Amino acid sequence: MNNPLKQRLAAGERLFGCWLTLASPLVAEALACAGFDFLVVDGEHSPADAMDTVALLQAIAAGGSQPIVRLTDNTTWLAKRALDAGSPTLLFPMVASRDEARRAVAAMRYPQHGNDGARGVAGIVRAARFGLADGYLQTANEAACTIVQIESAAGVEAAGEIAAVDGVDALFVGPADLAASLGHLGDSRHPQVQQAVDRVLAAARSSRKAAGIFAGSATEARDYAARGFTVVALAADVVWLLAGARQALAAARG
């Protein structure tokens, strides 16, 4: 089993994606067809449940994009369900320490060769083609891609230690929660927030890990890419739906 997204992260490619908040497989497939490198199934702030996640993963694959599932919490059993559903790349929210990063990595791995893997074993899951994928158990650890989300003042302070954890593939900044943590709720462009963003970017680069971030607009996306972020989420499905609809409606009304 291989994971193209993990390989592209390691190669330092610049990737653009989009958040899926509507839990709609049709929307997911359409955005995958639009050419996004990755799509994030949001399990934290969307109504998507376990079965929705499966349908969204199927739709993303049909459209030719790569999936990332953002978990509700940094919890082993949630990671297990998302991995078994067929997403080898997971995004763990609110990681604020080296120990929390290690817990995320352990949740991604089967116990093997003396590692600290904590993933439960089941060979008949969708990820293993329901038991028909030869060698899945032996190759799943290598394909697993762990992205940890830095979205608090504590996470920024520990960013260097988090980035240095073996098995962490990327650090991903959540500007909205980071702004709130720093006392600037609703103002992710505040200079103090942007200084924290740059600290996370520097920590990732120091450990030769990919750095990602959520951008609220194309202008922000270009700015973050120019600063060195290689994984940029370009807002969310509902943002583009509303933007297009309101623009068309305004034009029609004259």
Cβ of 166: how many Cβ atoms within 10 Å? 9
User: Is 113 among the residues known to form the active site?
Assistant: no
Cα separation, 166 vs 163, in Å, equals: 8
Identify whether the C-beta of residue 214 lies closer than 8 Å to the C-beta of residue 173.
yes
Q: How confident is the model at residue 62 (pLDDT cuts 50, 70, 90)?
A: very high
pLDDT for residue 73 is more than 90: yes
* Model confidence at 84: pLDDT above 90: yes
- Percent of the chain surpassing pLDDT 70: 100
Express as a percent the part of the chain with pLDDT over 90.
Answer: 96
pLDDT of residue 25: 98
- pLDDT at 1 (0 to 100): 78
The pLDDT score that the predictor gives to residue 113 is 84
Output the pLDDT for position 38: 98
Q: CB 97: neighbour CB atoms within 10 A? A: 15
pLDDT bin (cut points 50, 70, 90) of residue 111 is very high
Task: List, in order of start, the domains of the chain with CATH numbers.
Answer: 4-253 (3.20.20.60)
Average pLDDT, the chain: 97
Residues 155-182 have pLDDT tens digits of 999 999 999 999 999 999 999 999 999 9
pLDDT value at residue 123: 84
Per-residue pLDDT tens digits for 23-50: 999 999 999 999 999 999 999 999 999 9
What would the mean pLDDT of 118-138 be, rounded to a whole number? 94
pLDDT number for residue 114:
81
Angle at 192 between CA 191 and CA 195, to 5 degrees: 85
